[in-house]
Amino acid sequence: GENVEQHPSTLSVQEGDSAVIKCTYSDSASNYFPWYKQELGKGPQLIIDIRSNVGEKKDQRIAVTLNKTAKHFSLHITETQPEDSAVYFCAAQFTGGSQGNLIFGKGTKLSVKP
Amino acid sequence: GAGVSQTPSNKVTEKGKYVELRCDPISGHTALYWYRQSLGQGPEFLIYFQGTGAADDSGLPNDRFFAVRPEGSVSTLKIQRTERGDSAVYLCASSYQESTEAFFGQGTRLTVV
């Protein structure tokens, strides 16, 4: 079945450094790749997404890259701040046909040390 | 509020009991998803509604789990004969259409004792 692998499971950086989280997916038909941030006791919050017709997308300090050939996509956070500390999830979705569910990675716990 | 609302936020029930979890999606969103999240794991897909019908229920673990969305808005996830292994956070999400961004609620933390 479809699978999304996410690495690393934990990541600790100093404030101001960059953080990179990587994901691979198994279903080559996947065409939508969102990233979610989840703080303790809250639901996942969409922070950025990318579709398969785009290789890179940036929103202020956050960027996502997609390599469809290799079935890789990555989240890049620059100039990290303590409030970036949370669990980040990547996900993949095939938006055609009747299947609409997101397949999530297992998450990366990011800690930003002041 | 403008977001996805889930009630209750916490539910403690005894093994063998029946529970209902409610989700109010964002107004106008036709797609609604239920996910289950165990501690330290990513959300796991349960069921997806497009309007009133379940377009994909392949994630429901067994026939003790059932979900409805009779009017294409509010959805209820129903769990019969609860087991301790059902303890998790149950998340609901909605999106305007199947292929657009999904927004999650805060979740219902279910504890079966």
**pLDDT tens digit string along B13-25?**
999 999 999 999 9
Structure tokens at A80: 């990290």
Structure tokens at A103: 């397949």
Can you give the pLDDT at residue B100?
Answer: 73
Asked if B71 and B56 count as a contact pair (C-beta separation under 8 A), the reply is no
Average pLDDT, whole number, for chain A? 92
DSSP SS3 for A45 = strand
The band of B98, judged by pLDDT with boundaries at 50, 70 and 90, is low
Higher pLDDT, A30 or B86: B86
- Please tell me which residue of chain A has the smallest CA distance to B42: A106
Min distance A14 CA to chain B CA atoms (Å): 23
Residues 6 or more apart whose Cβ sits within 8 Å of residue A103: A2, A3, A4, A25, A27, A30, A91, A92, A93, B45
Instruction: Kindly determine whether residue B56 and residue A107, on different chains, have CB atoms separated by under 8 Å.
Output: no
Output phi, psi for A68, to 5 deg: -65, -35
**CA A60 – CA A78 distance, rounded (Å):** 9
Q: Which of B24, B94, B104, B106 to mutate to test the interface with A (most CBs of A within 10 A)?
A: B104
Can you give the pLDDT at residue A27?
Answer: 86
**CA A50 – CA A37 distance, rounded (Å):** 15
How far CA A44 is from CA of A86, B36, B85, B93, in Å, comes to: 10, 12, 22, 9
Average pLDDT score over residue span A85-97: 85
Question: CB distance from B43 to chain A under 8 Å?
Answer: yes
Average pLDDT score over residue span A55-65: 96
Asked if B103 and B34 count as a contact pair (C-beta separation under 8 A), the reply is no
Q: Which of B9, B24, B32, B45 to mutate to test the interface with A (most CBs of A within 10 A)?
A: B45
Can you give the pLDDT at residue A94?
Answer: 73
Residue B7 has pLDDT above 60, yes or no: yes
* Cis, peptide link before residue A8, omega less than 30° from 0: yes
Can you give the pLDDT at residue B76?
Answer: 98
Residue B59 with chain A: CB contacts under 8 Å? 101
Nearest residue to B113 (alpha-carbon basis) of B7, B11, B41: B11
The band of B1, judged by pLDDT with boundaries at 50, 70 and 90, is low
* Cis, peptide link before residue A34, omega less than 30° from 0: no
Percent of chain B with pLDDT over 70: 97
Instruction: Kindly determine whether residue A42 and residue B106, on different chains, have CB atoms separated by under 8 Å.
Output: yes
Percent of chain A with pLDDT over 90: 78
